[in-house]
């Protein structure tokens, strides 16, 4: 299934957590689910912290990129952008806070919900809840900031 990440411009699609063009990355997909956002991910055994449980850094990384993806969805909605090939807004993480409430079991599908708690012209705050086996294991808060669409593009790209 496609996510907001499939609408990022190519030069913003290399991120390890969510870049569709990063073959070594997590390639998460973030979508609306009613008023909330959602992503799903199945950790591999090599994502182990201690046997049976997921490494916390991976979980932080998933929350990070689900947060920036949720922020992009929220900004697209607020600005009435109809998502087409590569016109999604792109956000970078300004702040990431994670609370590990319970060990996260490995082997089942992880689900992360996002709630847009604040949105301005350029900044979005997203509260995240991470579930495994329907158990709330981790919460997080991401502050994401919009980057200009042409950031990182070669300056003379239109001359080539």
Ligand X SMILES: CCCCCCCC/C=C\CCCCCCCC(=O)SCCNC(=O)CCNC(=O)[C@H](O)C(C)(C)COP(=O)(O)OP(=O)(O)OC[C@H]1O[C@@H](n2cnc3c(N)ncnc32)[C@H](O)[C@@H]1OP(=O)(O)O
Closest to ligand X by CB, 12 vs 53, is: 12
- DSSP annotation of 159 reads G
Closest to ligand X by CB, 15 vs 88, is: 15
For 71, 75, 145, the CA distances from 120, given in Å and listed in that order, are 10, 9, 10
Stretch that binds ligand X, among 44-52, 64-72, 102-110, 132-140 (CB under 6 A): 64-72
123 binds ligand X (CB under 6 A): yes
20 binds ligand X (CB under 6 A): no
In 14-71, at which residue ranges do the beta strands (DSSP E only) sit?
31-33, 36-41
Of 49, 94, 51, 53, residue with least CA distance to 71: 94
Chain residues that interact with ligand X, rule: CB under 6 A: 12, 15, 17, 64-65, 68, 90, 92-95, 120, 122-123, 143, 145, 147, 151-152
């Amino acid at each position: 299934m496609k996510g907001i990440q499939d609408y990022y411009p190519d030069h913003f699609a290399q991120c390890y957590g969510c870049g569709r063009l990063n073959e070594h990355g997590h390639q998460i997909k973030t979508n609306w689910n009613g008023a909330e956002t959602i992503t799903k991910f199945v950790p591999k055994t090599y994502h182990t912290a201690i046997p049976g449980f997921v490494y916390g850094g991976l979980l932080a990384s998933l929350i990070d990129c689900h947060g920036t993806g949720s922020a992009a969805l929220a900004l697209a909605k607020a600005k009435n952008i109809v998502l087409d090939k590569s016109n999604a807004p792109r956000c970078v993480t300004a702040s990431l806070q994670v609370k590990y409430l319970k060990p996260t079991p490995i082997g089942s599908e992880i689900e992360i919900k996002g709630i847009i708690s604040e949105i301005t012209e350029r900044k979005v705050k997203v509260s995240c809840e991470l579930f495994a086996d329907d158990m709330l294991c981790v919460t997080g808060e991401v502050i994401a900031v919009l980057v200009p669409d042409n950031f990182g593009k070669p300056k003379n790209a239109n001359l080539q």
